Amino acid sequence: MCPDRFSTPTNVEGLMATDIFTLNTALAATMEDSMVKTLNDLRSVWDTNDRYETYAFVRQPQTFPDVVLRRVDNGEDVLLGVELKGWYLLAKEEAPTYRFTVTEAACNPQDLLVVVPWVLSNILAGSPVLFRPFVQSALYCARKRNHYWLHERRVRGTPGTIDTPSGVSPYPASKSNTSDQPSKDDGGNFGRLARYGLMDDYIAEMQSTLVRGIAVRDWQAFFKAHLS
């Protein structure tokens, strides 16, 4: 996604500061629509030789991944997919809290996981403004998650096991079971990639980013202090 190409008529007013993060879910569809439009408008960049004239990026809600590059004349052949997650950059948690639980069998090597940070243009009101996204192989993220959970995580006793759904392949049908499930997860932290080291450098960069002249980390500290 190109943040400078993102546009939306959405304008938010009247929300309490504690409720802004709830826009994350509502904004997901808006970001997906914008991403699809932008990528299709940039066909001259990713299809310079017109090899994929019969393909287009499309949304597919309620299944993994959120956006796919699909053949439009038969609606079936898929070249790649993008799983899109939003991150309210000023949240007091200071890092993305979403959970990526998709099993590796559902991911092709070319599929991507994209995390898009956002704020409102006037902090507590205005239109969403996007920042440089985090982009990583979805397959690598799934493998790193499971390896961390089983071999790197500090736990008392044994780390348990991970149950993997059977019969899964890339670009599954809507509402298919594609999630790995840990046998032990008392804290509900399975899938939180921000805890696995994958995003450390990126999060540090984002925390140094200026929003209205103030570093993100300072906004986060403010909200953490006053909205606990």
Per-residue pLDDT of 81-102, as tens digits, reads 999 988 989 988 889 988 999 9
Q: Which domain holds residue 79?
A: 3-171+179-226
- Looking at the structure of the chain, the number of domains it has is 1
- pTM for the model stands at 0.88
What pLDDT, on the 0 to 100 scale, is given for residue 1? Answer: 55
Residues β-bridged to residue 78: 70
The tens place of each residue's pLDDT in the chain, 228 residues long, gives 566 666 666 666 767 777 777 777 777 788 888 888 888 999 999 999 999 999 999 998 888 999 999 998 877 799 999 999 889 899 888 899 889 999 999 999 999 999 999 998 888 888 888 999 999 999 999 999 999 999 998 888 788 899 999 999 999 988 889 999 999 888 889 999 898 889 999 999 999 999 999 999 999 998 888 765
Task: Using CB atoms within 10 Å of the CB of residue 82, give its burial: 0 to 12 exposed, 13 to 18 middle, 19+ buried.
Answer: buried
- Helix H segments across 42-176? 43-46, 138-147
Q: Is residue 128 classed as helix, strand or coil in its secondary structure?
A: strand
CA distances to 27, 35, 99, 138 from 188, in Å: 24, 30, 9, 21
Beta strand 214-215 with 210-211 is: antiparallel
Helix (H) or strand (E) segment spanning residue 113: strand 112-120
